[in-house]
Amino acid sequence: MLQFIVQVALDTPLDFYFDYRWVGESADSKAPVRGQLARVPFGQREVVGLVMAVKESTDVPSGKLRDVIAIQEHITPLTEDWLDLCAFAAGYYQRPLGEVALPCLPKNLRVSKPAALVRAFKALDKELPAHSPVMVNKPALHEAQCKAAEAIVNAQGFAPILLHGVTGSGKTEVYLQATEQFLAHTHDAQVMILVPEINLTPQLESSIRSRFPNMAVATLHSGLAEGERMRNWLAAHTGRARIVLGTRLAVLASIPKLSLIIIDEEHDPSYKQQEGLRYSARDLAVWRARQLNIPVVLGSATPSVESWQHGQSGRYQRLELRERAVKDAVLPAVRLIDTEKERPQDGFTAPLINAVKLRLERGEQSLLFLNRRGYAPVLVCDSCGWLSNCMRCTSFMVLHKPERRLRCHHCSLELPIPRSCPTCGNTDLQPLGRGTQRIEEGLQQRFPDARILRIDADSTRLKGSAQAALDSVHRGEVDILIGTQMVAKGHDFQGLTLVGIVNPDTALFSHDYRASERLFAQLMQVGGRAGRTAQKEGGSASEVLIQTRYPQHPLYAAVVAHDYDRFAAALLEERRYAALPPFMYQSLLRAEARSLEGALDFLHQAASLLQCPHIVINEPIPMTVTRVANVERAQLLVESASRPALQSFLKTWMPELRAIKTSVKWQLEVDPVSI
């Protein structure tokens, strides 16, 4: 009888593989191979693991060796390319391979019996065969778009391409036409398109489906039901889906014939996973393109400084779209309103209110942008100075007036709004500062007949409600839209001619060195929602009004001039001078404990383990929001000007960290985006 030892990677924090015995049921049983999934016993449980190797013998004593329960034979083994990708991500982000690879697979594949898989395959068979890459309703491209699409199609081997195009310049059309040519050129080629947010997938999915009516498209994002996720994952894995569209998690999908990768809005912070395996989907996508020797397109109106630097140095090929795609649509005029001269009332200056009024009279839409949800960030007592601190966090409870609640945005604690000051009994508690709800209230009072809609994380808690809200804006059922960053990206609002930025200044003075880069990108993005179509006869020219106390600030000057290059060059110089990324490579060790001393002690111990040349180990410090849900948090920053030096330091450091006996919870993040 056939018998082998199968080495299996499991989803555990243990950094090694597990040996099991596999015995063939009959003489013609097929031996397991690398890349298959195996159901195995683990402790008292049954789990699914990934076969890493099949061998003749093991050091595990035969009395302790357990048997494989079953090998998943219904799906083709995962490819070497995919295993390499997981191995790279595991190595780079300092995690065991099993902890990286297994969570990438649909849950149904990891837990269920073969019957569910057979069902998923049957559902797949019902879908359209993936045959014709012919695109319908193809618009003519303008010259710069043509050039860009051609450059992508003609790229040879590994070719990172930075597609820098102003908002509304028709980047999506370039993606689609390049995709068509790739699919037409090779009969089984697959293309992966990444977008930063789930909210952007339905819009792009429907335009892809309508343009490629005879092509199977699979979407992958965290909003899918498990059955759907399984079916779509299989469609990608079996090669039936020729286009795979997804959010950051799609970068780790099995796509065996991947031939082109497109990353839309490559600068977007959502590409960074902020828990578990804290990977950058953009960076992994570029690595994957290099490994497969294929082109990767990084598209943005405001590229990240890292990508922009690569574009300057020639490492990335740079393509530019400087004009808007729609004939006679022009970039909106950006104007700064000095709030020292024009004092705001209820958060609005007179010029902004007048501009909104003008749009209302002409039946055009306005968008007011404020990246702070809730009614007011804090409730105060003027007579004794009481503030609505969260009892569990180093932060304030945010006033949510329509919900009649105080809510902590860090730990989700909710309390009723107190009728009087808990300290002195004063009944006149005042909201301080402004969130989207308060802006909405102010506008309702000024424009009682206007149709006003607020879109933020609170107004769109129900599944599908964000899409429904956006749809009603598209249908023209909204006069004034109030929104957070949720509305800033990608959406193409046809009737919008005014964007008002209510209060952007706080980000100018953030302790986070990336805050200004993000603010600039956000302002360009949200401003770019205006004037996507040609100005109507008798209609308003599209404009962006920014209320600020600092109209002299160079960041705003660059926004007014639509001058990304000037801003990026200045930012890069600043980073070079301050020895910050991309001139420095960073890793962050975070510790969580019941007491701050406990967390800091652990980090001091960690810092003293190793001394290495070219590695800077900084002082452990408490995190800015130190306490969240009664847990104290601190961090230790490790830096180096050399990425290989930092990686080799981490490789030695990690086993020593794991050996520390402590009750402190800790994790390591490589290339953190916020510090």
Closest approach of Cβ 408 to Zn ion, in Å? 3
Structure-token match 């945005």, residue found: 409
Closest approach of Cβ 404 to Zn ion, in Å? 18
Residues between 384 and 403 that touch Zn ion (CB under 5 A): 384, 386, 390, 392-393
Closest approach of Cβ 590 to Zn ion, in Å? 18
Among 154, 423, 430, 506, binds Zn ion (CB under 5 A): 423
Please calculate the CA angle 111-116-122 and round it to the nearest 5 degrees: 150
Distance between start and end Cα atoms, the chain: 58
Which residue's CB is nearer to Zn ion, number 80 or number 414?
414
Residues in the chain: 675
Closest approach of Cβ 420 to Zn ion, in Å? 8
Which residue's CB is nearer to Zn ion, number 415 or number 541?
415
Residue 381 touches Zn ion, criterion: CB under 5 A:
yes
Closest approach of Cβ 429 to Zn ion, in Å? 8
Classify strands 405-407 and 414-416 as parallel, antiparallel or unpaired: antiparallel
Using DSSP, state whether 86 is helix, strand or coil. Answer: helix
CA count, 13 A, side-chain hemisphere, 659 = 6
Which residue's CB is nearer to Zn ion, number 68 or number 408?
408
The interface region with Zn ion, picked from 231-239, 324-332, 333-341, 377-385 by CB under 5 A, is: 377-385
The token pair at 212 is 């490629």
Among 258, 408, 558, 591, binds Zn ion (CB under 5 A): 408
> Count residues contacting Zn ion (CB under 5 A)?
14
Which residue's CB is nearer to Zn ion, number 423 or number 465?
423
Closest approach of Cβ 466 to Zn ion, in Å? 25
Closest approach of Cβ 623 to Zn ion, in Å? 14
Rg over alpha carbons for the chain, rounded to the nearest Å, is 27
Residue 257 touches Zn ion, criterion: CB under 5 A:
no
User: Residue 474, Cβ neighbours under 10 Å: how many?
Assistant: 14
Closest approach of Cβ 559 to Zn ion, in Å? 34
- The single-letter DSSP state of residue 458 is T
Give the dihedral sign, CA 460/461/462/467.
positive
DSSP 564-603: HHHHHHHHHHHHHHTT-TTSSEEEEEEEEESSHHHHHHHH
CA count, 13 A, side-chain hemisphere, 663 = 8
Which residue's CB is nearer to Zn ion, number 146 or number 384?
384
Which residue's CB is nearer to Zn ion, number 624 or number 648?
624
Among 102, 411, 473, 482, binds Zn ion (CB under 5 A): 411
Residue 627 touches Zn ion, criterion: CB under 5 A:
no
Residues between 455 and 514 that touch Zn ion (CB under 5 A): none
Is the CB of residue 489 less than 8 Å from the CB of residue 201?
no
Closest approach of Cβ 410 to Zn ion, in Å? 5
User: Which of these, 198, 124, 169, lies nearest to 460 by C-alpha position?
Assistant: 198
DSSP 158-188: SEEEEEEE-TTS-HHHHHHHHHHHHHHHSTT
d(CA 301, CA 299): 7
Which residue's CB is nearer to Zn ion, number 86 or number 381?
381
Closest approach of Cβ 154 to Zn ion, in Å? 54
The interface region with Zn ion, picked from 107-115, 254-262, 333-341, 426-434 by CB under 5 A, is: 426-434
Residue 424 touches Zn ion, criterion: CB under 5 A:
yes
d(CA 155, CA 93): 30
Which residue's CB is nearer to Zn ion, number 388 or number 587?
388
Among 426, 510, 648, 662, binds Zn ion (CB under 5 A): 426
Closest approach of Cβ 422 to Zn ion, in Å? 8
Among 410, 489, 532, 633, binds Zn ion (CB under 5 A): 410
d(CA 265, CA 318): 15
Residue 432 touches Zn ion, criterion: CB under 5 A:
no
Which residue's CB is nearer to Zn ion, number 117 or number 421?
421
| Contacts (Cβ under 8 Å, ≥6 apart) of 497 | 332, 359, 364, 365, 366, 530, 531, 535, 539, 540, 541, 542, 543
Q: Which residues bind Zn ion (CB under 5 A)?
A: 381, 384, 386, 390, 392-393, 408, 410-411, 413, 421, 423-424, 426
